[in-house]
Structure 1
Amino acid sequence: MKTPTRPLPPYRPWWPVLALLAGSMASAAAQQSAPAGVGPNPPLPAPDKDGLIPTVNIAPAERWPEGVMPQAPAGFKVTAFAAGLDHPRWVYTLPNGDVLVAESNKPPPEEGAKNVHADGLRGKAMGMVMKRAGAGTPSADRITLLRDADGDGVAETRSVFMKDLFSPFGMALIGEQLYIANANAIVKVAYKAGQTAITAAPTKVTDLPAGANHHWTKNIIASADGSKLYATVGSNSNIADNGMEAEQGRAAIWEVDLASGSKRLFAGGLRNPNGLGWEPHSKALWTVVNERDELGNDLVPDYLTSVKDGAFYGWPWSYWGQHVDERVKPPNPDMVAKAIAPDYGLGAHVAPLGLAFSDARMPQQYASGAFIGQHGSWNRKELTGYNVVFVPFADGRPSEPPTPFLSGFLSKDGKAYGRPVGVALDGKGALLVADDVGNAIWRVVRAE
């Protein structure tokens, strides 16, 4: 079993408010650098705990200046498919080409839910930092439908498709049933092709863990035969700070049987899984995961991995297989012994959220692999992420390091014009990117 090479001081889940705010503002001008922790077996440094105060550096929200937009590689054109949205987090393409956008944000915690991250001055400080980063807006709790009937890359039709949801995120259409992952449950509604609005109340399919809603986003994907859904549930804390009782059913991917409504734990130990995709060659389920914070600039690598049925990926007791996190008390060597390493590191603190596998509608260089929306770091001295990257695949596995595909989300002085979240291919094979700070959906297509 691998262990850190030097001891850590006791973990203290509180930060002095002034130091936190000062760290966020003073280092906002730090620029991106090549992140560590990339590859199938990246070298991992020893944990580096910054005394009592972790590194806090998040790019303040600036919004896009007029005439400025993200940049794509040569041979591609970027358009604002839709602008002026309200914190768009996720995108889903319907079979007729219509695009659904979940305009959503973190819901309030359930009554009585324990959350050390929200207590006292620390919680107030984090709230201020998140607001500065563009993440403090109330949730619109709706899904908006966008339609580009004339094919010019800009949606000329926009309608409220569903409203009064509960922090909706993932969406999946199976036959004539549209499934939506709220922060606390999967629900469904009947859908007919071409509908621009649904007013019927949704029906609950199954509950999902909620509680403090530290990681509130829930994503879903359907199995190939449409009989099952797979649902992501992030942890309720960084490293089980609220106790393991608050983490029941969390840091996991669940398999939901739609015929019976029953569910089972498909894989565990995944701190905050978000994007899901079926890899076209192997047909295996893959996900991207946000790993733990406060262990230094280059720990722990966020990752892209296939999801093995019944596997345990370490959280909270270990990371990248069996590297023990000494902060977690009490230790659990039996669970550490079961932990397996993920497939591919994306770099520390890049915050991967969106995942979409490409296809032959993209140019050859981008036809086999995964597009990943990286929301960007907050626990690193030099900003990293804040972009969409492409990871080439061969024979069902990553074959080369990530390369930037959509960039320019950071200003020269370290402010965020936007932050990528969900990614999806549209009906014509262009890439759609939800930008929750820029309040836009960007469309990237091969230039004619």
Structure 2
Amino acid sequence: MRSLFLTSALVAVLPLAAIAQSTGESPQLPEPNRGLLPDMTIPRPAQWGDAKPTVPEGFEVTAIATGLKIPRQTLILPNGDILVAEGKGQGAPALRPKDMIAGIIKAWGKSPEPGGNRLTLLRDADGNGEYEVQTVFAENLNSPYGLAFVNGSIYVANQDAVVRFPYTEGQTEAAGPPEVLTRLPSAINHHWTKSMAASADGRFLYVGIGSNSNITERGINAEEDRAMVWEIDATTGAHRPYATGIRNPTALTIQPGTDALWAVANERDEIGPDLVPDYLTSVQQGGFYGWPYSYWGQNVDVRVQPQNPDKVASAITPDYALGAHVAALGVDFSNDAMGPQFAEGAFVGMHGSWNRNEPVGYKVVFVPFQNGAPAGEPVDFVSGFLVDAGKTRGRPVGVTVDPRGALIVADDLSNTIWRVAPVKP
């Protein structure tokens, strides 16, 4: 089936920007380009058949779990078992006709599976890379997404609360329903996903909470406690804002050997196909990252009224541009077991665009680091999801590095978990 194209000179209010989107530490941003409707190309689902994703020479990719119910994020437990969060959140009702149109069209590029609202456990008992056990660890959750393991407990960020399960190593099923640690904003969920990471010492959980709108069109009151990262005491559930002005922090991770929190974030829409870059950034305690008043540091978004020059002046420029509308939904740091070329850096799962003529994303990239910071252009690590502009076989979400030497990739279109590992000599 052909994808849907909504592009015409009739919907363009300003001419298209001549500068293509860019990536890296210092992207060159085009001028905003507003239209009545964004350009839209939604690749339709295609089957994998005998095909597999493309990985670099010296690596192999295997489907270690199939038939899942919208796998989002994964967690490696201390014994090597993998937990998979499966869920499909409830989005906010559309405010404008174009929101309704966009919502319908975006649904065409997603799996029709309603979502599992559960955790699935995968086990490779003999360590050969084949996960012969696939069982439901817990169910009756509420659109689970973020996962963390701290001091003998499994923490799950549902769309409305962080909950925890006590865990005994080797367990294949939760002993009972979880305990609620703290409630999360969920009255309206323009962005329902709640990402999560644990601090290096296990004392705190960091939870990313997306905005309730593109640029506050629901009113500023609807954004209370949103577009930010919370810091939550893992024992008591007490919480506070850790960093603000991040439109949708979709995945969080701690940089190895440090206490530094990093995030990938999805930026705002409707100012052109090459704005605004989604990004990878370290997250500073007390930092403000611009939303809604500005983007990529102090570039003012004139659509937001009233303006706040003081907030704009304080806005932090992110560390690394991933490209506009790539929809980064996963991030994790690499290790030496992934080989010298991919030992230092971060893997980023890109779910893929919906509001560009030419689709972008639909792959996992590796962002090289040097001296603890991004350095250089992203490298395709897992690709081959996108067949052409009209079809895609999969859409990557969470990426998790197995300390033993593999990258675990959740694909929520084909409902598959992929494992990418160096070929054994």
What range is the shorter-chain TM-score in? over 0.9
TM-score with structure 2 setting the length: 0.93
Report the equivalent of 1:357: 333
| Cα distance in 2, alignment partners of residues 22 and 375 from structure 1 | 19
User: For the residues of structure 1 that align with 2:218 and 2:291, how far apart are their CA atoms?
Assistant: 14
Note the C-alpha offset of 1:240: 1.0
Q: Which residue of 2 aligns with 1:222?
A: 198
In the alignment, is the contact (CA less than 8 A) between 2:358 and 2:389 conserved in 1? no
Tell me how far apart the structure 2 counterparts of residues 362 and 278 of structure 1 sit (CA, whole Å): 18
- CA offset at residue 282 of structure 1? 4.5
- Letter matched to residue 37 of structure 1: S
Shift of 1:400: 1.3
Q: What CA distance in whole angstroms lies between the structure 2 residues aligned with 1:425 and 1:162?
A: 23
CA drift of 1:283 comes to 3.6
Aligned to 1:36: 21
Give the TM-score normalised by the residue count of structure 1.
Answer: 0.88
1:62 paired residue among 46, 49, 55? 46
Alignment-derived partner of residue 185 in structure 2: 209
Provide runs of 4+ in structure 1 moved above 3 Å: 119-124
1:201-260 Cα deviation digits (max 9, x unpaired)? 111111111122111111111112111111100111111111111111111001011343
Q: Distance in 2 between matches of 1:300 and 1:204?
A: 36
Show the 5 A alignment for 1:268-283.
268-280=244-256, 282-283=258-259
Q: Does 1:198 align with 2:174?
A: yes
- Pair 1:120–1:345, CA change in 2 (3 A): closer
1:136 to 1:337, Cα distance in 2 relative to 1, 3 A: farther
- Contact conserved, 1:83 with 1:441, CA < 8 A, in 2? yes
Corresponding residue of 1:406: 382
- Amino acid across the alignment from 1:130: K
Match of 2:13 in 1: none
Query: Corresponding residue for 1:244?
Result: 220
Paired letter, 1:53: L
Deviations 1:149-200 (A, max 9, x none): 2333231111110000000011111122111100011011111111111141
Paired residues of 1:275 and 1:354 also in contact (CA < 8 A): yes
Provide the residue aligned with 1:90 in structure 2.
73
Q: Give the structure 1 partner of residue 64 of structure 2.
A: 81
SS in 2 for 1:48: coil
1:305-356 CA distances to partner (integer Å, 9 max, x unpaired)?
0000100000011001111111112212221121111111111111111001
**Runs of at least 5 residues in structure 1 that lack an aligned partner in the other structure:** 1-19, 25-33, 110-114
| Distance in structure 2 (CA, Å) of the matches to 1:365 and 1:277 | 21
- Kept in 2: contact 1:82–1:154 (CA 8 A): no
Distance change (3 Å), C-alpha of 1:315 and 1:121: closer
- Corresponding residue of 1:393: 369
Aligned to 1:103, which of 86, 90, 93? 86
Preserved CA contact (<8 Å) 1:388 1:406: yes
Q: How does 1:127-206 map to 2 (within 5 A)?
A: 127-134=103-110, 137-206=113-182
* Structure 1 residue 105: Cα displacement: 0.8
State the AA in 2 paired with 1:157: V
8 Å CA contact 2:69, 2:114 repeated in 1: no
| AA at the equivalent of 1:80 | A
Counterpart CA distance in 2 for 1:92 and 1:167 is: 16
Please state whether the residue corresponding to 1:431 is helix, strand or coil: strand
Sequence identity, in percent?
Answer: 51
Does structure 2 retain, via aligned residues, the 8 Å contact 1:99–1:426?
no
Look up the match of 2:11: none
Shift of 1:58: 2.0
Residue aligning to 2:262: 286
CA contact 1:218–1:232 (8 Å) conserved in 2: yes
Distance (whole Å) between structure 2 residues aligned to residue 234 and residue 198 of structure 1: 29
- Displacement after TM superposition at 1:21 (Å): 5.7
CA distance in structure 1 between the aligned counterparts of 2:304 and 2:208, rounded to whole angstroms:
23
The alignment yields a C-alpha RMSD, in angstroms, of 1.8
For 2:65 and 2:383, how far apart are their aligned partners in 1?
A: 18
User: Which residue does the alignment assign to 2:401?
Assistant: 425
Q: 1:413 to 1:251 in 2, by over 3 A?
A: closer
How many residue pairs were aligned?
A: 411
Q: Distance in 2 between matches of 1:120 and 1:223?
A: 40
Instruction: Tell me if 1:335 matches 2:311.
Output: yes
CA contact (8 A) 1:63 1:437 kept: no
Contact 1:420 1:436 (8 Å CA) reproduced: yes
Distance apart, 1:365 and its partner CA: 0.5
Conservation of the 8 A alpha-carbon contact between 1:107 and 1:166: no
**1:45, distance to aligned residue in structure 2 (A):** 0.8
Aligned equivalents of 2:280 and 2:98: distance in 1? 31
One-letter amino acid matched to 2:188 = A
Shift of 1:127: 3.8
User: In structure 2, what is the Cα distance between the partners aligned to 1:139 and 1:241?
Assistant: 28
Greater mean deviation of Cα atoms: 146-155 or 170-179: 146-155
Q: 1:427 Cα shift?
A: 4.7
Partner of 1:346, secondary structure, is strand
Q: 1:258-269 maps to which residues of 2 (within 5 A)?
A: 258-269=234-245
Aligned residue type for 1:225: D
